[in-house]
Structure 1
């Protein structure tokens, strides 16, 4: 459960923009020394206020804004502009945006799998200086393959990431991408990606700079681990995470039987359904690797679940 709004983002403290602020408002921090949170609605069932970002860019020098967080946008109605269109409409006023968190929406406002999205492809095209993009939620989420020269981090937090989005990421050309994190979720909430969808990512051909990979929160974590065991991209990774899902001894056995993992600095296996023997074995096999085995689940559980679903 995600119950608290961001207070820090990409190394910067967060400042929530006051919708009542006017141009030249005194007392605001320097535009490039904080990550700005803008919430398009105050109440989850309100309509989107398309002028909210106009007021923000009037009060804050958008040319100096580098980090932006888009918060609650309530329920999308068919006559309302999407958050994507509202944001891209002011892209020319944010020419130096480097980091964008799209969907800082917490449990009190909406369950993660109820956050309604649209096609986010225009965000990549509107912000060529973007180096980091985080997206929370998956309902209605769409994406087409893109090419982006500067993006270094791409993260999707979801209880059910649509397979179409995974395939679009896999087909994208992202030469600078260093970190990719996908919360794949469950089929009950739209997470229908397959291991085959991940194959281009695991080959690493379109992601020459990738060093940190997370394929997490999946109900097919054992199958993913088996595919990862022989994946070409693993040899150049520094960090690999297969946590938050339903990983069992079977998946870890496949992982340890595959290519060497001793070069990793970090291996994430949290929220896994592992026996004591397997936990001890993986630690013994990778003595120089920092391994996250926290939040271990009962391997005898007949109804394994992922860490983040609804």
Structure 2
């Protein structure tokens, strides 16, 4: 059941230019397939490898799973819409997309935070690492990430379901998200927008847990700092390229900029593609495990 008389929305997409739409179809189809392949490869490698049993890889497994799902919430529709004349999405599909995008996006954020905690313990409490990051603790942290993601996306969808739509139904975006929907609602959305910004902002701000790691390194020797930073470089790169766009989109007043769609495309499709590359190219253990897997299958 929904508010107002609108039963479907028209997605504007990234562009209305027919020539550019064919280019978008080609580029994003390749990017999406590469995202699925890269993340699937990491998931299979970690699941089948005997050597990748440490907590870091256990969490990387869930990060890759979240990445593949997060990308799937938006990319297939963008690809299909690039070639279709009628870019419509039903109200129910739209609300499902809002929930799924926020669920898997939040899952990715929480797993990155857990990975930050894992690195913090490894650097600052190396002797107690195996005791603190026991299997039971790792399982509990992942369950917390699932529950937290569900709470975040449930809060977002409950706000979206309150919005009445009784007039224009063209969403100036390539997927259903809260900010473009707020512009179409026929009510004063100031309070709802504040709640959305608070909800998303609170999640994004937790990303600054990485600053705690950097701060904790100040007492280490130069050699210790260098080692620790080399361990964390991959994580820092991933956090910056994911949280930067998220903070830009979700923690500001209800204004939309023309660049928003490209920023959203970067963090919904670009980041899930870059994550497997960043973690594998900088990690000898993962690369060796992939080689072993490849050789055994060949």
Q: TM-score, normalised by structure 2?
A: 0.26
More strand by share: 1
Bigger RCO of structures 1 and 2 (CA < 8 A, at least 6 apart): 2
